[in-house]
Chain A
């Protein structure tokens, strides 16, 4: 049958109410992540067929406790729900409530009722409520609020059909008004209501409460509201408090009638027992460290195979294209610039996907709240918050989704410091560079026959990044002014077995973020760098083959060796090579020559490009494996000293440089977007480059 009607439906509810399970159950794979116009909040939308005639666009709004936002993400909710002209203004709303915490969830419901919006109340987690011994009179609940109530268990899909039926039906706004005029404020509210010709009292009240959060109001309109507020002595905080108390009073009256039997005290006994261990003075931290370490190990172990396969696949594709495509700059750009550029993004997907699988499992289970709880005091010493732990952990995969995850930090100062130091956490792109340099300078032996020295060195590099992040945060703490109050207040959800489909959706979402946000910049920069590294002054480049043939006339090179030497010669004389040579005096004190200089420049698209640049410049052909590159680097002789070029001093200096340096355009772009300006990304660039340069300088001078 034909679809005759499209409805816009918003899902609203507090965090941990099972809203995302419901969203996933309703939309399945038909969901996408976009942006709200003009702001950087993720917009999760999806479509769902409600009945034969009705299709719905479902929008999953950020989890909120009330219309008064605490974080950046939450501001969008009140803005959409009070703006009838917004393209996202919903026709209907489903409020998802956690039946085991009904009281807190009903606060939001009463606010939406007062806005005059057509609402369905979904009572989720009915299974848990039943287990706790809670018995509700749902019919009475529905009558007292004058809204349809649907019992749900979103995790198992129970009640979804009934919810769809209610949403598709003839849904009218509730006839109840819960919060009405209080003494002393009606004149202000009426003035605003008339001026903007608003339909409900509560809408006008919201205009007065938070004009700055309603982005659709013009500056003039905001000024008008603020003038009205001061003329009629409307005190936002005072009336907001009075409103909340009034609403809870009403909710209590309803609950007194509706709750037939209240929950037994002991239903959370499992959670309480787990909390005794997981937040224990000693065991709490031990368990967290063990979990962290296991995640780390599993990410590397599990990601290795797919990464090798992707690496080989793209190298083969590039070689295949090179052989098949006719020669010419455009085709070379495709096979040597664009294809490896895309490969350089795809290769990180396994690590990022696996790490986010673990992070999402920890969040789903309720354990992440305990980590935040355990770490808050420690992190606060460094100007961070307990909530900074998740972004910092994500930073081990990729700084881009990590920086976007800082939006849950309410305080701007804590959030800014977290954004600033997250790129110091060693991300997946640094690993290939670490791997090859560690293999080059650290002997492959075991201490006490147990711990591999190379593995320990690698671990040390990650630790160094983490320590640098903490110390930089400490430094920044004294420079950044705190402009707003910091609130920590956080719900401690009960422990649950993670719902695997939710974990799956998170993996897809985070991976998409990485591919789309980082991807386009990495591809663009790698194309530019490919051009810089392939082109140079015409006459020099044209003579490359001839010059190399003359130089190597007595060496009896194979065809392949000759081609590799030509490639090295061309790179040396390309624009990138010229810049590398120009840079040499600056990087010489760090022990780097112009060849490393070229690799530093090409790394700016993404750090791992270091490896392929090194391969090209040492005439290896770019598809060589790590062992070949390592052996070649070992044999490289410094023309000035006659000694090996890659001494431990140079190796360590280079390693330290890569731990600290900000060599990621995509991260800078994201920081610019999240901090709304160039100030912080530029500071970050200069700070991290300075730190990298100075540390590498000290290391090289001490060791050589």
Chain B
């Protein structure tokens, strides 16, 4: 299975490789999720979903299904 933001663990950092969902990717890009940028996984909500990540100093929360569309390389 490819690694995505959804499979990351708290405290883990990885580099964004690309997106698998076009309409959503436009929104993610706007929020600063750019390929090549480092994304840090902050923590997940108590029920495992949504998750909170940091992108270039900016804290953003996403649903797990949205996080799964961001593929990363670590």
Which A residues have a C-beta under 8 Å from some C-beta of B?
Answer: 65-66, 68, 70, 100-101, 103-104, 107, 237-238, 240-241, 244-245, 248, 263, 268, 272, 275-276, 279-282, 284-285, 369, 373-374, 376-378, 386, 485, 487-494
Contacts and interface: CB of A to CB of B under 8 A. Distances in A.
B15 interface: no
B31 A245 contact: no
Contacts of B28: 489
A107 to B, nearest CB: 7
A100 B57 contact: yes
Given A245-B34, A279-B45, A103 B58 contact: yes
Contacts of A493: 59
Given A386-B50, A490-B62, 11 more contacts: A104-B31, A107-B32, A237-B22, A238-B22, A241-B25, A248-B32, A279-B52, A487-B24, A487-B66, A492-B52, A493-B59
A491 B52 contact: no
Given A237-B26, A373-B45, A65 B31 contact: yes
B53 to A, nearest CB: 9
A374 B61 contact: no
B63 interface: yes
A492 B54 CA distance: 9
A238 B22 CA distance: 8
A374 B26 contact: no
A485 B23 contact: yes
Given A101-B57, A237-B22, A263-B57, A488 B62 contact: yes
B46 to A, nearest CB: 4
A376 B62 CA distance: 10
A245 B29 contact: yes
B73 interface: no
Contacts of B27: 70, 487, 489
A374 B59 contact: no
Contacts of A490: 60-62
Contacts, number: 101
Main SS at interface, chain B: mixed
A423 B35 CA distance: 44
Which of A104, A238, A276 has the largest count of B CB atoms less than 10 A from its CB? A104
B32 A104 contact: yes
B47 interface: yes
B50 A491 contact: no
Nearest to A265: B57
Contacts of B58: 101, 103-104, 491
Given A279-B43, A489-B62, A491-B58, A376 B50 contact: yes
B56 A103 contact: yes
Nearest to B22: A237
Nearest to B48: A377
A492 B57 CA distance: 11
A131 B21 CA distance: 38
Nearest to A378: B47
A363 to B, nearest CB: 16
Interface of B: 22-32, 34-35, 42-43, 45-50, 52, 56-63, 66
Contacts of B34: 245, 248
A241 B63 contact: no
Which of B23, B50, B60 has the largest count of A CB atoms less than 10 A from its CB? B50
A543 B66 CA distance: 73
Which of B30, B46, B58, B59 has the largest count of A CB atoms less than 10 A from its CB? B30
B50 A488 contact: yes
Contacts of B22: 237-238, 241
14 contacts: A66-B30, A103-B32, A241-B26, A248-B29, A248-B32, A263-B57, A373-B61, A374-B46, A376-B49, A488-B62, A488-B63, A490-B62, A491-B58, A492-B52
Contacts of A237: 22-23, 26
A485 B24 contact: yes
A275 B26 contact: no
Q: Which 10 pairs between the two chains have the least Cβ-Cβ distance?
A: A492-B59, A244-B29, A377-B47, A281-B46, A488-B63, A377-B49, A66-B30, A240-B26, A104-B32, A237-B22
B66 A374 contact: no
A488 B64 CA distance: 10
Nearest to A100: B57
B26 to A, nearest CB: 5
B31 A492 contact: no
Contact of B46 (A107, A284, A487): A284
Contacts of B59: 268, 491-494
Contacts of B42: 272, 275
A134 to B, nearest CB: 9
A245 B24 CA distance: 14
B6 to A, nearest CB: 13
A489 B47 contact: no
B27 to A, nearest CB: 6
Contacts of A101: 57-58
B57 A68 contact: no
A225 B29 CA distance: 25
Given A263-B57, A488-B62, A68 B47 contact: no
A373 B52 contact: yes
Contacts of B47: 377-378
B46 A285 contact: yes
B23 A489 contact: no
A281 B23 CA distance: 32
B39 to A, nearest CB: 13
A210 B70 CA distance: 25
A272 B57 CA distance: 13
A488 B43 contact: no
Contact of A68 (B26, B45, B56): B26
Contacts of B25: 241
Contacts of A244: 26, 29-30
Contacts of B30: 65-66, 68, 107, 244
Nearest to A238: B22
Contacts of A280: 46
A100 B50 CA distance: 24
A3 to B, nearest CB: 40
A68 B66 CA distance: 19
B68 to A, nearest CB: 13
Contacts of A279: 43, 45-46, 52
B59 to A, nearest CB: 4
A257 B3 CA distance: 34
Nearest to A101: B58
A241 B34 CA distance: 10
A489 B29 contact: no
A143 to B, nearest CB: 23
Contacts of A285: 46
B19 to A, nearest CB: 9
Contacts of B61: 369, 373, 488-492
A241 B60 contact: no
A42 B41 CA distance: 36
